[in-house]
Each structure stands twice: as C-alpha cells, then as structure tokens.
Structure 1
C-alpha cells in the first residue's frame, strides 16, 4: 500500500499567472469618481471636472477683455460657526466652498457653482448660503 501524500497544487500556467497579475493591478487602480468627473489641470490649477475648467477658461477670456476685474478660486464661506454643545464637545463649523467668486467691471459680485449632480448635502448648503447672503449684493449662479 502506498503512503498517502496530500495533493500538491500544480504550478500555474502562464495564462493563470497573467490573470493573477491583472487581478492585482485592477484592485490597485484608483476608483473613479462616483459622479464620473475627472480632475483637470488647467493653467496650473486643479479643477474637479472638465466643465469647471471650461468655465474658468471662459472667465479668463472675459477678464482679458476687461469685463471681469477679479476671479477667485474656491472661496470658502462659514455657514455656521463652530461651537461647544451642552456636553462640552466641540462641534466643527459648517462651511460651503464655491467654485468661483467673480468681480465684474460694473461692480457686481457673483459666486459661481459648477454642478453636475445636485446632492442633498449640496442643496442644504446652498440654501444656508443663500440665506446668509440675502442682504448682500452677491449674486449666486449655478452652472450645469
């Protein structure tokens, strides 16, 4: 009677080895943005989407023609200041970061938000921002 030896797994074939390598590479790839937006680099600035970069180029050309005085990128606004709750725990402030702040030659100020998908979080922050800015001369514009 022969002695029992456990079954030894055969060496992988070239096809199996390539498949294993491809599986490893796929898991190491960066996940795409959940809204399919690709980061775009334009004029030394990184934009969250191609559409946002296009809007920036349009604003730059209008600035060169003298229609726009100033273009601000990613202006941040505090919607609700941080505070300590009744248990003594610090609560972080709620902020809203727009895509652009534009000052026109005629004196108008405008906040521009480039949006693809309008999430519930965005809609709430937008409403809080509009409430905060209701007594100012700042215009809010959403671009799709």
Structure 2
C-alpha cells in the first residue's frame, strides 16, 4: 500500500486483478502487468475492451517522458493511447493530485504542447476528468455552506425572538 492508501495490483492475461500484497504474502507465481492502484488496473481493463471493440487503435502502459535533461526529470504516465485517427493522448489515473505531479504536469505541457493529457479519477464506478470532479466538489461545498448560513441565520432569529417581518423593519 502506498502513502495514499492505493493498493498495488497485478493484472494477469486472463483478466484477473491480484493485489500485490496477497501475491507476496502467499508467494504466488503470478505473471502480469503491475499497476500502482486498483483504479489504474481497472482502467487498463477498460482500454483492453476499447481496443477489442475498435474504439481505439492501441495503447501503451507506463510510457516515460523526459521533461528536463539536467538535472534529469522524467515523468512516467499511466497510459499512452493512440486513437483511431492516429492522434495520441496521455492518460493518468489519479486518486490524489500531489504538488509534485502539478509541477511535472506544467513541465510536460511546456515540452509536449501538442500531446493531450487526460487526468482521470474514479468516482462512483466510472472514470471522470479531475476538473469535472473538482467542480462538482466545489459546487457541493458551496451548497452546503449556503445551507449552513441559512440555518445559522434562522437560529439567530429564534434566539432574538424576531420573525421575518420584524427583521425587515429593523434593517430599514
């Protein structure tokens, strides 16, 4: 398990996901592709299906990009997907967006401006863009704060014993 509670998994050719700690504990002989999180392994399964049904041309796991020569800075993405029209895009599955990732993202965008990068997060069983997730989270927070403010206002009115018409007259 990593510092962000992501369980490393191994995806076998028959489509089975094994958590890495189980493989090590029981000394299982499992051959497959290793991923840093279960969500990443599940997205790999999704890409296999997309390739099988002709929705994408191909994909590569864990492509490396050199962002800077001296000092050497590299970025290992989760997937490099080639779409049917031949365009390529980088897909990165995130559970937590770290400050290190944000710096590498800026370096990546500066060095590879034509290569699109999709940062996805798994929410309620589906992969959505992290920007959409952040927007929904901010909207929920605003709505909660608005409700709390209304409730606090009503509580103050109850304590003072004023009703809405009396408050309106006092403010004039």
Structure 1 length as normaliser, TM-score? 0.68
Pick from 64, 68, 74: which aligns with 1:95? Answer: 74
Q: Distance in 2 between matches of 1:33 and 1:50?
A: 12
Offset at residue 42 of structure 1 (A): 0.7
1:88-116 deviation per Cα after TM superposition (whole angstroms, max 9, x unaligned): xxxx4011110000001122211001111
From the two aligned structures, give the one with the greater helix fraction.
2
Q: How many residues align structurally?
A: 102
Q: Which has the higher contact order (CA 8 A, sep 6+)?
A: 1
Alignment partner of 1:68: what SS?
Answer: coil
- The match for 2:119 is 142
Larger Rg: 1
Stretches of structure 2 that go unaligned for 5 or more consecutive residues are 13-31, 122-172
Match status 1:70 vs 2:21: no
Pick from 35, 40, 43: which aligns with 2:4? Answer: 35
Offset at residue 131 of structure 1 (A): 1.1
Structure 2 length as normaliser, TM-score? 0.57
Runs of 4+ more than 2 Å apart: none
Offset at residue 66 of structure 1 (A): 1.1
Offset at residue 70 of structure 1 (A): 1.5
Stretches of structure 1 that go unaligned for 5 or more consecutive residues are 1-31, 83-91
